[in-house]
Amino acid sequence: MLSEQANTRTATQAVNPSTAWSQIYARRLFITDFLVLVWVVFGVQIAWFGFTSAALDVGDSSGDLAISYTAISVIILAAWLVVLSVYGTRGRRVVGTGSQEYRLIADATLRLFGLVAIVAFLFQVDLARGYILIAFPVGLMVLLLTRWMWRQWLAVQRMKGEFTAKVLLVGSAASVIHIARELNRRSDSGYSVIGACVPTSLVGDTLPDTEIPIFGNLDRVIKALEVSGADTVIITSADELPPDRVRELSWSLEPGRQHLVVAPSLVDIGGPRIHTRPVAGLPLIHVETPRYEGSKRFAKRAFDITASGLIILVASPVLLVIAAIVRLSTPGPILFRQERIGYNGGRFNMLKFRSMVVDAETRLLSLQNAERLEGNRVMFKMKDDPRVTPIGRFLRRYSLDELPQLFNVFGGSMSLVGPRPPLEREVEQYEQHVHRRFLVKPGITGLWQVSGRSNLSWEDTVRLDLYYVENWSLTGDVLILWRTAKAVLASDGAY
């Protein structure tokens, strides 16, 4: 009997979709990583040494030992693939969403670079500096690019319902609905909700305001797994499930085929701030409080000055052309200056290329009472704002009107990435907790910009801004800038 159960479990594991997609995807990533690194490592070798048989000396004298650079390239290639595997860069927990995959790749590459430098020093291997200093940065950039391309492909597949974990939610009805809504908000997260178990006697019904079927109460989780075909159980609230029942549920899951996830009552907390520490058998979650001073702020300011200065220098011809077009197209000044509320509640004049008629502020009062008002209850947005000039409509569509804010960034009143800078009349309508967005400088772009822009509700705008304030990092800023470039080209939600 036990043998039959073991054979059944083994067979089930072999065809488990969750295991299958993660293994298939990991193999594809390995093949791509291999091809990329072969191209980079041997390409740099050929570019640096040509097609000649270059060799390097090992030891105190040139006669001790000579090793071909082809052998060195093979060793570096193999070591690079190994460290990428050791650091779990292809693991199903990190691929497809978030920035951890990219951080692991960068960390693994930097560690390998350091290891190569240490080995070369200890064994007196006279490696060509150019060969090493070109191969590692180029390899890292191309690895990140190919992983990003794979992620775009994976996001498309997940929108079709493939390459995802099939989730059964377990907990109170309210918590189940909340978690389901958050997971469905990001289809690329890799979790597809197919059912729920809640404290109810209804089976076959759906949760209120959703299409999530109910497979039974909390005593029928294992049966619900079999019926639904789910491979992942997410416990959305622990009030209905005491610790002993959670432990028994984890024992009942098939290792390698079924997975258990516990969703804590934490929202909008970035991964780097969360640390799990087992104490006395308890998986305690430590949440670091956000810090807004010290080296992080210095690094952000240095990045802002350097990046904004370079962009102003490179884009200066474009700025001059736009300035001339604005000046000649309609009467009025080139720049529009508007007082906004910034860091610590201070006021500053935000710069834009003028995209409206000169008396736009005067006309605003009449437009605020019109039925054409769109956007949200605090911010005023209209898709067909009659105050916008023809050239202004084009500038707004591609966010070119915001380029002068680079001078705000260079001067220190704004940052490249941050919360949206509000007007004073908007701040007067803020609830108390919304004032936390003034703990950092406002930005030209931010999470609000890359997540819907003017199409967002006020609640979503606040949630994204506060999430950034609580969890900002320099790496996150770079990712937001990259996503901003895509959002601007798509020009969705810009008006």
The rounded distance, in Å, linking the Cα atoms of 345 and 441 is 10
Using only C-alpha atoms, the chain has a radius of gyration, in whole angstroms, of: 28
Residue 434 to residue 440: CA distance in whole angstroms: 13
Distance, CA of 16 to CA of 165 (rounded, Å): 11
Strand 380-381 vs strand 374-375: parallel, antiparallel, or unpaired? antiparallel
The first and second tokens of residue 427, run together, are 């701040």
Between CA 396 and CA 326 the distance in angstroms is 13
**Beta strands 259-262 and 55-58: pairing type?**
unpaired
Domain 165-265: which CATH number of 3.40.50.300, 1.10.1040.10, 3.40.50.800, 3.40.50.720: 3.40.50.720
The residue to which tokens 């797994």 are assigned: 225
Among the listed residues 383, 389, 340, 335, the one whose alpha carbon sits nearest the alpha carbon of residue 360: 389
Q: Cβ(338)–Cβ(349) under 8 Å?
A: yes
pLDDT the model gives residue 361: 66
* Spatial separation of the C-alpha atoms in residues 473 and 103, rounded to whole Å: 12
Cα–Cα distance measured from residue 243 to residue 250, given in angstroms and rounded to the nearest whole number: 11
**Cβ atoms of 69 and 56 closer than 8 Å:** yes
pLDDT at position 466 is 86
The pTM for the full model equals: 0.65
Neighbours of 385 (CB within 10 A): 20
Q: Closest Cα to residue 58, out of 48, 67, 49, 50?
A: 67
Residue 124 pLDDT: 73
Residue 19, token pair as written in the block: 């295991």
What's the pLDDT score for residue 294?
Answer: 78
**pLDDT of the chain, 495 residues: tens digit per residue:** 334 334 444 434 444 555 577 888 999 999 999 999 999 988 888 887 776 655 555 555 444 444 677 888 888 999 999 999 999 999 888 888 777 889 899 999 999 998 988 887 787 767 777 778 888 999 999 999 999 999 989 988 888 888 888 899 988 888 888 888 888 877 778 888 988 888 876 777 788 878 888 888 888 888 888 888 888 888 888 777 777 788 888 888 887 778 888 887 766 666 666 767 777 666 777 776 677 777 888 899 999 999 999 999 999 999 999 999 998 888 889 998 989 999 989 999 999 999 888 766 666 666 655 544 444 555 556 666 778 888 888 888 888 999 999 999 999 999 999 998 988 888 888 888 888 889 899 999 988 878 766 567 777 788 888 888 888 888 888 889 988 887 777 665 555
Cα separation, 355 vs 393, whole angstroms: 7
Question: Where do runs of H (alpha helix) occur along 295-359?
Answer: 295-329
Tell me which residue of 87, 84, 58 sits closest to 71, measured CA to CA: 58
Question: Which pLDDT value is given to residue 131?
Answer: 77
Contact 313, 410 (CB under 8 A): no
Spatial CA neighbour of 238 closest among 263, 258, 216, 213: 263
State the burial class of residue 247 (Cβ atoms within 10 Å of its Cβ: 0-12, 13-18, 19+).
exposed
* Pairwise CA distance, residues 230 & 444, whole Å: 43
CA distance 299 to 199: 50
Residues 6+ apart with CB under 8 A from 67: 55, 56, 58, 125
Give pLDDT, residue 414. Answer: 95
Neighbours of 409 (CB within 10 A): 24
DSSP state for residue 200 in the 8-state scheme: S
- pLDDT given for residue 218 in this prediction: 82
Residue-level pLDDT at 65: 47
Query: What pLDDT, on a 0 to 100 scale, did the predictor assign at position 453?
Result: 61
Domain boundaries, the chain: 13-159, 165-265, 295-490
Strands (E), 43-141: 55-58, 65-68
